[in-house]
Amino acid sequence: MGPWGARLWACAAMISTMVLAACDEAADPPVNVPRPAAPDAFAFAAAGDHGANDLTDLGLEALDRSNAEFYLALGDLDYDETSSDRAWCEYVTERLPSKGPRFPFELVAGNHEDDDEDDGADDGRIADFAKCLPDRLGVRAGPERGYGVEYAFDYPARRPLARFVAISPGLELDGEEYTYEPRSPHREWLVEEIDGARESGIRWVVVAAHQPCLNTGLRHGCDSGEEVMNLLLAKRVDLFLAGHNHLYERSKQLALDDSQCPRVVADSFDAGCVVDAGADGSYVAGRGTVMVTAGSFGRLEPDEDDEDAERRYFAVTDAETTGFVEYTVSRDRLAGTLVRTGGPLDDSFEIRAQ
C-alpha cells in the first residue's frame, strides 16, 4: 500500500470510530441530563354556571385568550342548552382553539348534575360530562367517586405550589349524599387532604365546590351546609371557590377562634369571625379563608339581597357582571382578577405570604 492509500485507510478508520461513538451516545444518553425546573408560578381560572349561549361564548373566548393552564368548571354545565352532554363538551372544545383539545377543562358537579328528584334540576349526568371532558391532571379520587365529584391534585405535579381539593357538599350523585358531617368518610378524606398539604410543605390550599354556604343571593341559602363551611374556616384553607349564585362576590378573610368566633351561623353576622376586611384587596396568608363565588360565566340573574345579614361578610358583591376569575400562584402570592365579559365591575385581590 502506497503512502496515499495508507492515509486514506487511516481517515476511514477515524470516521468509522467517530460515527460509532456518536451512535453509542444517542442510544445511551448520560443519566445526569438535567430535567427542566418546575415553574415558580402558574395561572388557572375558575367559575361556575355555564350554559351554551352568547354569554358562554364570550366567556370561552376570553378563557382561550387567557394565561390559564387549566380551568375549574364549578358545576351547572349545559343547562340543557345543547342536545346532549357530549354536544356540550364539543361546544366547549370548539371555542378553545388556542388552548387545544387537551386543555384541562376540569369538572366539578353542580346541582344541575344532581340526581335528587326534589331538586328540580336534571340537565345531564356528571359521569357523562366527565367522559367527554376527562381529567387531564391525574387527580386522586375521593372515598366514593373521583373526577367530577370529589378529587384532589397538586400543581405543578413536581414541586407543587398548591393543592386543589374539589368537593360536592349538599349534592346527591348516583345515590350517594355528599355530606361532610363529623365522622363521615367524605369529611375525613377532606381533612386528610388539607392536613397532608400542610405537612408536605405545599404553600397554598384551594378548595372548590359548586354550592357555597354564605352568600348574598335571594335564590339560595346555605345549600352546602354549615358543617363544611366551618371546617374550611377552622382549617384556615387559603381560598374557597364556588358558583351556584349567578353573581360575583369576594368575602372578607374569615376564621374561627374559640373565644371570638367558635362557629359561623348562616343567615347571621358575627364580627368576631372577620380577620381582615380586605377593603384594599390585600390579605395575609395563614390568617383565614377568602371565599370567591363566581357563578355568572354564562348566567346572569340579578338577585342580590341588600337586607341579607351575611352581606357584611363580603368585601365585594355584584350581580350585574359576567365572566370568570383568573388566578396567578407563586410561592409568595396568590392573586385573583375578575375577567369581565360584561357588566360594570372590576375586581382583583391578593393573598400574600408573610
Mean pLDDT per 10-residue section of the chain, whose length is 354 residues: 45 42 40 50 98 98 98 96 96 98 97 66 84 98 94 96 97 90 95 98 98 85 93 98 96 95 95 94 97 96 76 95 98 97 97 92
Q: Which amino acid is at 285?
A: A
pLDDT for 220 equals 82
What's the CA gap between 47 and 107, in Å, rounded?
11
Q: Which amino acid is at 315?
A: A
Cβ–Cβ under 8 Å, residues 281 and 348: yes
What's the CA gap between 228 and 179, in Å, rounded?
8
Q: Which amino acid is at 253?
A: Q
Cβ–Cβ under 8 Å, residues 226 and 265: yes
CATH no. for 39-352: 3.60.21.10
Question: Please, is 99 exposed, middle or buried when counting C-beta atoms within 10 Å of its C-beta (0-12, 13-18, 19+)?
Answer: buried
Cβ partners under 8 Å of residue 39, min gap 6: 156
Alpha carbons within 13 A on the beta-carbon side of 338: 28
Beta strand residue intervals within the chain, DSSP E: 41-47, 71-74, 105-108, 140-141, 151-155, 162-166, 172-173, 176-177, 204-208, 239-242, 248-251, 253-254, 274-276, 282-284, 290-294, 314-318, 322-330, 333-342, 348-352
What's the CA gap between 147 and 137, in Å, rounded?
10
Cell 358545576, residue located: 75
What's the CA gap between 201 and 218, in Å, rounded?
40
Cβ–Cβ under 8 Å, residues 207 and 238: no
Cell 352568547, residue located: 54
CA triplet 74, 220, 239: central angle to 5 degrees? 40
pLDDT for 124 equals 85
pLDDT for 221 equals 86
How many other β-carbons are positioned within 10 Å of the β-carbon of residue 343? 17
